Amino acid sequence: MNPIIDRIEKELKLDIENEERMKKLFSPDILASRSYLLNRLHRLEAIYARYKYTTRTDEQITLQLLLIKKKALERTLYPGFLSRALRSFWGRFQEGKIAKSIIIADTQAEMRLHDAVKTMGFSIDSKAIHKQLAHAPDHFQVTCSFYMNDNHRMDYRLKFEKDETGSFQFEKFEAVLTDEQSGNSIKQTFSVAEDNISAIKAYNLLAGRTVHQEISDGNARIQRSWIKLDLNDKDAEGNHKVKRFLPEYGFDLEKSLANLNLKERNLFEREQLIAALKNGDRKEVSMNIDGDEKKIFIEANAQTRSFNFYDKENNRSKKQEITSAKSLQSVQTNKQQDISAKRKRGVSIN
């Protein structure tokens, strides 16, 4: 749990630190200039406007001390009673505008966080993030848990940090898969920007499946690959190493689906199936086997350039694998030489 922080005290400390930096850079006469003192006054007014209506006792005390400091600076800048009175009237008008702009900016920033969380597939109570932001920490965490089936529970720890502009960003999340039947658990930390892995993809990776990943290289180019966690090997940070299968490796999901003897689907259903398989989901399909239509479950397996097949009891079905191998035999024979050459340069482990 993040400690409750006096937000006004924190901002004043930053203001003091800024003053100390300025003293090292500029001469006393510059720091005593009217333009610089006005800038200081505006900063204090912005802090006061932001927290003027705080209901926290500790912050109300700090706010009163801030007000004393603000008025002392006003007397320095506006020694005459009339000029100070006019400045006070104008200040109250400006204070309202500042408070309104701060509320709008804070609301928009909070909405961006909620959108980022929602985009990654997490269902988080909006009050949880709002409550954390109210404490003004440099970083905070929000947790959530979901049951994926009768035995699998996913626990997520979402981590938010301030960037160089002072805005919060959804930086990364820790995902833990627990098999409640065996008591075993496995975890992995994913970077939101670098990994671009959603909540459901994180579950499927921890369950040993393959997912399709799309990440930007920073130059508006998208790198596409299939990835799978090496559940038997970890890096120095305790994360499982990632097996990466680039397009050169030779696994084409849509072409591989076309080579299966599946029941015909309309375009919408086909697109849904492709999207689900890219997520790493195990999906039910109807397949013609030995002249009969049978319902089976499939999941993408980029490493074998094919699929894993399961019956309705979630048992691997070797019969379907053999059937799939026969249907792909002619295609694989024609491409074997090309695939062998690509195999070496199309897979990486990191």
User: Domain ranges in the chain?
Assistant: 7-112, 253-349
The token pair that represents 350 in the structure block: 């990191």
Asked if pLDDT for residue 238 goes beyond 50, the answer is yes
Question: Residue 350 has what pLDDT?
Answer: 64
Please state, in angstroms and as integers, the Cα–Cα distance from residue 315 to each residue in 284, 297, 302, 310, 320, following that order: 13, 10, 20, 5, 11
Question: What would the pLDDT profile of 173-225 be if each residue is shown by its tens digit?
Answer: 999 999 999 999 999 999 999 999 999 999 999 999 999 999 887 676 788 99
Question: Residue 14 has what pLDDT?
Answer: 87
Burial class (CB in 10 A: 0-12, 13-18, 19+), 229: buried
Whether the Cβ atoms of residue 129 and residue 137 lie closer than 8 Å to each other? no
- Mean pLDDT over residues 17-43, rounded? 91
Residue 111: CB partners within 8 Å, gap ≥ 6?
none
Whether the Cβ atoms of residue 202 and residue 188 lie closer than 8 Å to each other? yes
Q: How far is it, in rounded angstroms, from Cα 343 to Cα 350?
A: 17
State the residue for tokens 């939101």: 192
Whether the Cβ atoms of residue 306 and residue 256 lie closer than 8 Å to each other? yes
Q: How far is it, in rounded angstroms, from Cα 239 to Cα 139?
A: 22
| Nearest CA-CA partner of 205 in 229, 238, 234 | 229
Q: How far is it, in rounded angstroms, from Cα 274 to Cα 253?
A: 8
Question: Residue 346 has what pLDDT?
Answer: 62
| Nearest CA-CA partner of 88 in 102, 70, 101 | 70
Asked if pLDDT for residue 313 goes beyond 50, the answer is yes
User: Greater confidence, 234 or 261?
Assistant: 234
Asked if pLDDT for residue 54 goes beyond 90, the answer is no
Question: Residue 326 has what pLDDT?
Answer: 46
- The region, left, alpha or beta by phi > 0 then psi within -120 to 50, assigned to residue 156 is beta
One-letter identity of residue 270: R
Question: What would the pLDDT profile of 141-167 be if each residue is shown by its tens digit?
Answer: 999 999 999 999 999 999 999 887 778
The token pair that represents 78 in the structure block: 């506006």
- Mean pLDDT over residues 318-337, rounded? 46
Whether the Cβ atoms of residue 111 and residue 126 lie closer than 8 Å to each other? no
The token pair that represents 63 in the structure block: 């706010």
Q: Mean pLDDT of all residues in the chain?
A: 85
Question: Residue 148 has what pLDDT?
Answer: 93
What's the per-residue H, E or C state across 14-81? HHHHHHHHHHHHCCHHHHCCHHHHHHHHHHHHHHHHHHCCCCCHHHHHHHHHHHHHHHHHHHHHCCCH
Q: Which of 13-22, 179-188, 341-350 has the lowest mean pLDDT?
A: 341-350
User: Greater confidence, 54 or 19?
Assistant: 19
Asked if pLDDT for residue 32 goes beyond 50, the answer is yes
Reported as half-sphere exposure (CB side, CA atoms, 13 A), residue 105 has a value of 10
Please state, in angstroms and as integers, the Cα–Cα distance from residue 202 to each residue in 149, 196, 211, 318, following that order: 15, 10, 9, 27
Reported as half-sphere exposure (CB side, CA atoms, 13 A), residue 20 has a value of 6
Our CA dihedral for 121, 240, 300, 178, rounded to 10 degrees, sits at: -60
The token pair that represents 346 in the structure block: 């199309």
Give the pTM.
0.73
DSSP 251: -
Question: Residue 347 has what pLDDT?
Answer: 63
Reported as half-sphere exposure (CB side, CA atoms, 13 A), residue 125 has a value of 8
- Mean pLDDT over residues 316-336, rounded? 49
Which helix (H) or strand (E) segment holds residue 13: the answer is helix 7-25
The token pair that represents 193 in the structure block: 């920007």
Give residue 330's pLDDT band: very low, low, confident or very high (50, 70, 90). Answer: very low
Q: Which of 70-74, 135-139, 203-207, 308-312 has the lowest mean pLDDT?
A: 135-139
Helices (H), 52-186: 57-77, 81-119, 126-134
Whether the Cβ atoms of residue 218 and residue 169 lie closer than 8 Å to each other? no
- Mean pLDDT over residues 295-306, rounded? 93
Question: Residue 101 has what pLDDT?
Answer: 77
Q: Which of 118-132, 197-211, 319-333 has the lowest mean pLDDT?
A: 319-333
Q: Which of 2-11, 62-71, 100-109, 134-143 has the lowest mean pLDDT?
A: 2-11
